[in-house]
């Protein structure tokens, strides 16, 4: 298969440590992009977790056994050419959309069941109109998008039909992974198919922002060489088990610099279950946007609007969405009441008895629950301290990825 690709850089989040956090899918001229049969053990019988197998040949063994389940994911999306319009006097310039053009992207994936379910990254397929999957034997399948979750950067594809059987990787247990464990990454960096690299687990519990700006926690950090195009490919232990899905790197150049991240397979398993069942992940919502209180912000509100905030820490509710649990409970964004001759506002200070001072803390506490469960809020309505229990509801199905990151 001959493939030519250009303009291979994808940003997923703001710059970190003087460099950048890069997703590992490839694209051509567009931002954005990448229950199984048992594998034979790649480690000698009785080997300790992460121990180096005899004769140092575990990378070859892992590759030979796992690589048939690693696939090349090719996508086609629709972009638009732009052209610049300038007024006759040269005072104004506008970039205007032109005709639609196809945009191609590539990434990696791993077959996780013999009936053709393929695990990959959301950012590999998020905007795809067409998805094709190439197996290691050269066979090609048009893939169906079963579901995707931008919040975790996980997507699930389906290839083949009734009776088709595919080589499937064995999924491991990422809770048993430790820093220093040997790992193997297989994928398609820069479009180079079936590339294998070796490294170790550098650290655990890392966090990055997904392409929609939502924090993904608990990631595995590795120094195994992964590059754009590796997105969605597996990170494997010495026994040939998938322990993570490669998703991003920290880099000043967009290429490998020794710091890569993989989504733990235990998290991916949970997401896959929901995607197979519903095609999406159902998360709870309160239905608010908040702004964190700082001394500077409190002084600004008092000086600019005469709004006196009675606490030094907390979250000011700045938007409440219609028909949300918060709206039904009577919350609102700040407004000046002529009848009361004062500002009406709400500042959340505690959730389930735990102080909250950041939007991420509130989001984590809300997302730790399921729709229908109760959230116990302590808040200030003006100067009055109030406690209230609110039943959370499912995040609206029609909400966009961007909304998922912004609204709590």
Query: Two tokens at 235?
Result: 């990170």
User: Among the options 108, 123, 149, 251, which is catalytic?
Assistant: 123
Q: What is the spatial distance between Cα 280 and Cα 273, in angstroms, rounded to a whole number?
A: 10
User: What is the rounded distance in angstroms from the CA atom of residue 49 to the CA atom of residue 174?
Assistant: 12
Q: Respond yes or no: is residue 181 known to be catalytic.
A: no
DSSP state of 14: S
To the query of whether residue 358 is one of the catalytic residues in this protein, the response is no
Pairing of strands 170-171, 241-251: parallel
Checking phi first, is residue 46 left (phi over 0); if not, alpha (psi -120 to 50) or beta? left
CB atoms within 10 A of CB 260: 30
Q: Are 79 and 103 in contact (CB under 8 A)?
A: yes
Q: Max alpha carbon distance in the chain (Å)?
A: 82
178 is catalytic: no
**30, HSE (Cβ side, Cα atoms, 13 Å):** 25
Say how far apart CA 405 and CA 273 lie, in whole Å: 22
Short-list 318, 221, 170, 229, CA closest to 26:
229
Cα 309–chain centre separation = 35
Q: Of these residues, 231, 324, 380, 401, which one is catalytic?
A: 231
- Using alpha carbons, list the distances in angstroms from residue 72 to 45, 242, 295: 32, 17, 51
Catalytic residue among 115, 122, 149, 153: 153
Backbone angles phi, psi at 56, to 5 degrees: 55, 30
Q: List residues with catalytic annotation.
A: 123, 153, 231
């Amino acid at each position: 298969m001959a493939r030519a690709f250009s303009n291979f850089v994808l940003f997923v989040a703001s710059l970190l440590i003087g460099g950048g956090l890069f997703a590992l899918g490839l694209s051509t001229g567009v931002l954005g992009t990448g229950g199984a049969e048992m594998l034979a053990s790649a480690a000698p019988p009785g080997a300790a977790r992460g121990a180096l197998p005899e004769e140092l040949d575990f990378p070859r063994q892992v590759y030979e056994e796992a690589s048939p389940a690693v696939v090349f994911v090719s996508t086609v999306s629709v972009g638009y050419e732009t052209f610049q319009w300038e007024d006759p006097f040269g005072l104004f310039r506008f970039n205007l959309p032109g005709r639609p053009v196809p945009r191609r992207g590539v990434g990696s994936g791993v077959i996780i069941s013999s009936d053709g379910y393929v695990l990959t990254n959301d950012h590999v397929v998020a905007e795809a109109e067409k998805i094709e999957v190439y197996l290691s034997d050269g066979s090609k399948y048009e893939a169906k998008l079963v579901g995707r979750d931008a919040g975790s950067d996980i997507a699930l594809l389906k290839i083949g039909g009734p009776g088709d059987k595919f080589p499937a990787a064995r999924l491991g247990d990422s809770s048993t992974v430790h820093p220093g464990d040997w790992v193997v990454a297989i994928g398609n960096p820069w479009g180079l198919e079936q590339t294998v690299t070796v490294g170790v687990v550098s650290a655990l519990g890392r966090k990055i922002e997904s392409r929609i700006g939502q924090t993904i926690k608990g990631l595995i950090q590795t120094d195994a060489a992964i590059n754009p195009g590796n997105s969605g490919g597996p990170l494997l232990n010495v026994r040939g088990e998938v322990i993570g899905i490669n998703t991003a790197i920290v880099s000043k150049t967009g290429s490998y610099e020794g710091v890569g991240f993989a989504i733990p397979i235990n998290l991916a398993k949970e997401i896959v279950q929901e995607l197979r069942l519903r095609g999406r992940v159902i998360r709870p919502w309160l239905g608010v946007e908040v702004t964190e209180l700082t001394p500077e912000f409190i002084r600004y509100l008092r000086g600019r609007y005469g709004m006196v905030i009675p606490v030094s820490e907390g979250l000011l509710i700045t938007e409440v969405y219609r028909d949300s649990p918060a709206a039904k409970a009577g919350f609102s964004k700040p407004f000046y009441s002529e009848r009361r001759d004062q500002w009406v506002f709400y500042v959340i200070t505690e959730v389930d008895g735990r102080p909250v001072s950041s939007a991420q803390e509130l989001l984590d506490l809300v997302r730790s629950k399921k729709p229908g469960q109760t959230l116990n809020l302590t808040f200030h309505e003006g100067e009055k301290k109030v406690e209230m229990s609110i039943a959370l509801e499912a995040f609206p199905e029609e909400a966009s990825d961007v909304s998922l990151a912004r609204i709590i």
